[in-house]
Amino acid sequence: MTGRATLDGLLRRAAEIRPDATALRDAPNRPQLIGGGARSFDWARLDRTVDALAGRLKALGFPTDSVIATQFPLGSDGVVAFLAIVRAGMIAAPLPLGWGRRETVAHLQRLGARAILTAGRAGPVDCADMMRFAAAETFSVRFVMSIGTPVLDGVVPLDDVFETTGAVERIETPRTANAADHVALVTVDATAEGHLAVPRSHNEVIAGGLAAFMAGVPDETSVFAATLALDAYAGIALQLVPWLMCGGMLVAHPPFAPRVYADDLGASRISHAVLPVAAAACLSGITPQGRPALRHLTLLARRGADILLAHDIRPEAVAVDVFFGPGEAGLTRTSATPQAGGVPIGPDTFATGAGQAPVLVETRASPAGTLALRGAMVPAFAFPPGAERGLPPFWSTDAEGFFDTGLPVTTDKASRALLIADGPEGVVAVGGRRFAEADIRAAYAEAGGEIAPVLRADPVLGQRVSGIVGDGRAIVGLAGRLAETGLTALGIPGGQRQAGPLPFEDTRPPEQQPARDPLTETQAALEQLLTMARAAIAR
């Protein structure tokens, strides 16, 4: 695919055509999870805010194509940050919220990141606090910047860019040759050897979004309900790109709250919903009257078992398209057989009837019996340039341009489909996050070894890590040491408990406790001591 459109060009075009139309809005539960009030932008204001933040980044002196690591929950802050980094001519490198300091530092060093732009907090995770310590261990990082509270020492706050009301300098980044061929995004995938960087140009990002756009066929009146985190390729391709292409409205829902989501389908007149398969069950209890405008549902399957489940989800009067995301390799439409779910064999051109569309993705079974992908959305080179000459893991394709995902497949000739099995070997997938199994076992071993991790299948998370320990004191000691290595007792690496309520907690006011009376407490303690003394004398 050799288009010339860039992500920033799509934003500029929408802002010029529909300046006063609502472009981006936070879901109602943003204050509980991220802090601050829910934001709303029309296209003109969104364009100005992106210019303002991009100008701040350029003023810090970063050269073109600098890597800026980000960590945000799904929300308007993260969307603006991503678009501003791209507009400034830099490379966005989103870090998963589930990462602790050890994984973060290793990845920052691998990328040579120049700065970190992060949320103040995301639920129980103190993003900015963890990132400033990670930056101290990474020589290349010059600045840590944050949007949202708390404001910490050593972290540059950028919240003022959202208060921009007047005209701002228009940011343009001149490029040699085709600007769309330059790297815009670097995400993270995992192999049995560890994490690796996955780079994508504007063309490769837009190719994945084009697949979703042609499936849902949105227009300028469309309203998207986004639920996928923006720290993975699927979240950007299935949500941001179709929204930018059509110039509609995007409602950003932070980590999934079913009741908030269900209420918003009617209140915001959502026409296009994007959900992981595990969360799609929430739609079964919503009547057509509760989702009056919903006409298209995009489901993301991360496992072969999810594909068959997804094809059973058919809300009344709603078209459904299911995409399979084998890690960060790409996205492909799916097909279901009576026995299992799989992906079609060969090229999927997404033809529109107006000629031959580009081959966005093509699938085949590798000689080793694993799923291999190539196409306009599949990256071809390692990152950073020259990484392929170092130690693995690094991104690599074969002579024909196919990337081997490592997922075992079997060929169903009757339906011309590749049936996906669990895998790849040596990789653990928890809630869409992929880790090398060896790294997880090493973290537990470093924590003391009182408990051996056991990997179990989970219907929602895909897999989970659990274990058995006989000594209760060992659990306390293990939790403390795991917090130092990146895995916490909260189940969120690097996380710390916040004082405020979370959207999934019981927020009813606690029952009033009677006021303490120090004199009464002292008298009761003395009486207890006298009783014990009398008993001792009597013996």
Q: What is the pLDDT of residue 212?
A: 93
Give which of 250, 259, 214 is closest to 230, Cα–Cα. Answer: 250
Strand order in the sheet with 22-26: 40-42, 22-26, 249-252, 223-226, 272-276, 296-301, 319-324, 332-333
Residue 466 maps to a domain: yes
Q: How many CB atoms lie within 10 A of CB 232?
A: 24
Q: What is the CA radius of gyration of the chain?
A: 25
Question: What b/e sequence results for 55-73 when a residue is b if at least 16 CB atoms lie within 10 Å of its CB, and e otherwise?
Answer: bbbbeeebeeebbbbbbbb
**Bridge partners of 296?**
272, 319
Q: What is the pLDDT of residue 1?
A: 47
Number of domains in the chain: 1
| CB-CB contact of 297 with 218 (8 Å) | no
Q: What is the pLDDT of residue 348?
A: 79
331 exposed, middle or buried (CB, 10 Å; 0-12, 13-18, 19+)?
buried
Residue 436 maps to a domain: yes
Residue 456 maps to a domain: yes
Residue 113 maps to a domain: no
Residue 501 maps to a domain: no
Separation of alpha carbons 385 and 538, rounded Å:
85
Residue 444 maps to a domain: yes
In this prediction the pTM is 0.85
| CB-CB contact of 333 with 321 (8 Å) | yes
Q: At 200, phi and psi to the nearest 5?
A: -140, 135
Residue 47 maps to a domain: no
| CB-CB contact of 294 with 318 (8 Å) | yes
In sequence order, what are the residues at sequence separation of 6 or more whose Cβ sits closer than 8 angstroms to the Cβ of residue 384?
A: 110, 111, 112, 197
Residue 461: domain span: 429-471
Separation of alpha carbons 257 and 225, rounded Å:
12
Tens place of pLDDT per residue across the chain (539 aa): 468 899 999 999 999 999 999 999 999 999 888 888 999 999 999 999 999 999 999 999 999 999 999 999 999 999 999 999 999 999 999 999 878 888 899 999 999 999 999 999 888 888 999 999 999 999 999 999 999 988 889 999 999 999 887 889 999 998 888 999 999 999 999 999 999 999 999 999 999 999 999 999 999 999 999 999 999 999 999 999 999 999 999 999 987 788 899 999 999 999 999 999 988 888 888 899 999 999 999 999 998 888 988 988 989 999 999 999 999 999 999 987 766 788 999 987 664 444 566 789 999 999 999 999 999 999 999 999 999 988 889 999 999 999 999 999 999 888 889 999 888 888 888 877 788 888 888 877 776 656 677 777 777 677 777 765 555 555 566 666 555 555 443 333 333 333 444 333 334 444 455 555 556 666 666 666 666 666 656 55
| CB-CB contact of 323 with 234 (8 Å) | yes
Residue 301 maps to a domain: no
For the chain, count helices (H), then strands (E): 14, 26
